[in-house]
Amino acid sequence: MFGIWGHPEAARLTYYGLYALQHRGQESAGISAMGPSGVETHRGMGLVSDVFDNAAVARLPGTAAIGHVRYSTFGSSRLANAQPLTVRYRRGWLALAHNGNLVNAVEIRQRLEDEGSIFQTTVDTEVIAHLLARLGGTSPDEALAGALNVVRGGYALVTLGNGRLIGARDPLGIRPLSLGRLDGAWVLASETCAFDTIGAEFVDEVAPGEIVCIDGDILRRRPGAHPAARSALCAFEYIYFARPDSILRGRGVHAVRKEFGRELAREHPVPADVVIGVPDSSLSAAAGFAEAAGLPCEMGLVKNRYIGRTFIQPSQELRSFGVRIKLNAMRSIVNGRRVVLVDDSIVRGTTSRRIVEILRDAGAREVHLRIASPPYRYPCYYGIDTSAAGQLVATGRQVDEVARLVGADSLGYLGLPGLLRAAGGESLGFCVACFTGEYPCDIGSNTARFFWDGEGEGEGSS
């Protein structure tokens, strides 16, 4: 997500900001801008470059805008579910963009529909819009605080309308949101790399459970949803999601991933000739592994830059096909050598198996797979598309079984203590439920059934 307030080129800067955040979602893109006649929105399916051209951006007037790139985890892949969502209610026009999952969205939606509400989408984000409309008698930030006290889960969101730009974060801080400044304008973004792209200065992270309201030249920060007893930033932000040049909790993502690799080399050493990383999210960990192991780190896999992340494609068929198109092995690097292949995670196992096959086809004598995170055994309910537990290759399997399934000569996972140590210490608070099954907030039986059994349309904001 991206939002800006108080700049004459608001829509164009939002467009550039979404480019910087494209890695977070490739399914759809949209921008809402606040002009004299209200909020105007342009959305479409595909990448930012597919959805917008100069004419589309020029048609979005005003000095305030919000944008969104979607990676679906709840609600099907279709234009109606693209964001920002735009609604008109008694206070006027409101646009809303959301990152994460609301774990009680199913129950809330059923209750609202029983009371006469009509939903236009299948995304959990629309639940927030309906709650805001019902609380329309209070100020916009008070209405949002009231709505957020009803929902549960991991979320960061931005809203635009009623003469305000508002950002908010869930009480556990599962999903990230940062505040920046550019030429007197205020900027909100999911990651700080978006600030670098437009030349904005990072000011602060939006705190867990905090609402930031920008009205005219005034910035107000206030508590939003009821505060949680602890913080629980999604560990996968450091492991996979965030760009390596972003900063989370005051630490560069690249530096944290490199430390993951060092810890991994200490925990799972192996006689080898070369270390290679899976581009792009594993290159930092591979460099750290090689440094700690005293081995050369080489570019053993070449990535086709015009293919998106296989992990977030909406079907298994596209994931399998995408690996062969996306990656090619450097035969001169791997032929006849014992290779340590470093990757950030194994979720379904399909991608790992294909990469091992690619390396063996290129002549690798041995392939030792090293994973810079613990075994991924439990579904995520807070914004990662892993759906049913039966799709997770580590669930119910020992490490050597997973190694055989992916075709590796050996397999080693970074232990949870090492992961937390490298990320700054357990005391900071992380959500690691995908590794432990211990969820930081109650997910409810409906949500558990929806994801665990794979009953959902498959894929949220969200």
Q: What is the pLDDT of residues 197-207, one digit of tens each?
A: 999 999 999 99
Classify domain 2-232 by CATH number: 3.60.20.10
Please list the residue range(s) of the chain that carry CATH number 3.40.50.2020: 251-427
Q: What is the pLDDT of residues 11-39, one digit of tens each?
A: 999 999 999 999 999 999 999 999 877 89
The angle at the Cα of 389, spanning 388 to 392, to the nearest 5 degrees, equals 110
Q: How far apart are CA 157 and CA 46, in angstroms?
A: 21
Please list the residue range(s) of the chain that carry CATH number 3.60.20.10: 2-232
Q: How far apart are CA 160 and CA 129, in angstroms?
A: 12
Cβ neighbours of residue 328 closer than 8 Å, sequence gap 6 or more: 301, 302, 304, 358
Q: How far apart are CA 392 and CA 385, in angstroms?
A: 11
268, β-bridge pairs: none
Give the predicted TM-score (pTM) of the model.
0.89
| Contact indicator for 295, 275 with CB cutoff of 8 Å | yes
> What separation in angstroms does the CA of 287 have from each of 70, 257, 263, 341?
30, 9, 12, 11
Q: What is the mean pLDDT of residues 239-265?
A: 97
Cβ neighbours of residue 53 closer than 8 Å, sequence gap 6 or more: none
Residue 282: phi, psi to the nearest 5? Answer: -105, 0
pLDDT for residue 76 is more than 80: no
- Bridge-based pairing state of the strands 366-371 and 410-413: parallel
- Half-sphere exposure (CA, 13 Å, Cβ side) for 359? 33
Q: 3-class secondary structure for 171-196?
A: CCCCCCCEEEEECCEEEEECCCHHHH
pLDDT score for 462: 39
Q: Which CATH architecture has domain 251-427?
A: 3-Layer(aba) Sandwich (3.40)
252, β-bridge pairs: 247
Compute the radius of gyration of the chain from its Cα atoms. 22
pLDDT score for 324: 66
Q: How far apart are CA 351 and CA 278, in angstroms?
A: 10
Q: What is the pLDDT of residues 278-314, one digit of tens each?
A: 998 899 999 999 999 999 999 999 988 765 544 444 4
